[in-house]
Amino acid sequence: MASSDHTVGFEPADRLAQDRESVRRRFWIKLKRVVAQLPFAEDLLAAYYCAFDKETPRHVQAALLGAVAYFILPFDFMPDVLPLLGFTDDAAVLATAIRMVAGHITEEHRDAARAALKRGIDTAEATE
């Protein structure tokens, strides 16, 4: 199996992840739209905060940006509009990325995620 076989289907997320500002902007737009439907919103936000933390190593940022980029893509393996199943692929990609870099997602990232959810996504984006 060629090493490129592991990334089949993820190319759009990989390209998007290279544009950090686009990821940042599009992340908040999509999160506002779907946050009430996401059982993994806190983990997603913690990963986001870790990915944009200047103290986070580059390889960790890359892994997390790829997962966040996959979340914001308008198309994916399982359409997000499907009840109950729509975000399972997003959750799986995020869980895999978090498992790979779990030691780098700090309590500060998790605290920021909880605080953002508590104050509301519009306010969290404004303080970003």
Give a yes or no: residue 11 inside a domain: no
Percent of the chain whose predicted confidence (pLDDT) is above 90:
30
Do 121 and 72 reside in the same domain of the chain? no
Those residues with Cβ within 8 angstroms of residue 49's Cβ, 6 or more apart along the chain or in another chain = 108, 109, 112, 113
Structural domain span for residue 68: 19-77
Same-domain pairing of 53 and 90: no
Asked whether residue 48 is domain-assigned, the answer is: yes
Q: What pTM was estimated for this model as a whole?
A: 0.73
Q: Are residues 67 and 100 in the same domain?
A: no
Q: How many domains does the chain have?
A: 2
> Mean pLDDT highest for which of 12-21, 88-97, 104-113?
104-113
SS3 category, 96: helix
Which tokens is 85 given?
A: 């199943």
Domain membership of residue 70 (yes or no) is: yes
- Pair (73, 121) in one structural domain: no
Residues 65 and 31 placed together within one structural domain of the fold: yes
> What's the whole-number mean pLDDT along residues 65-70?
88
What stretch of H or E contains 75?
A: none
Q: Residue 29 is inside which H or E element, if any?
A: helix 20-34
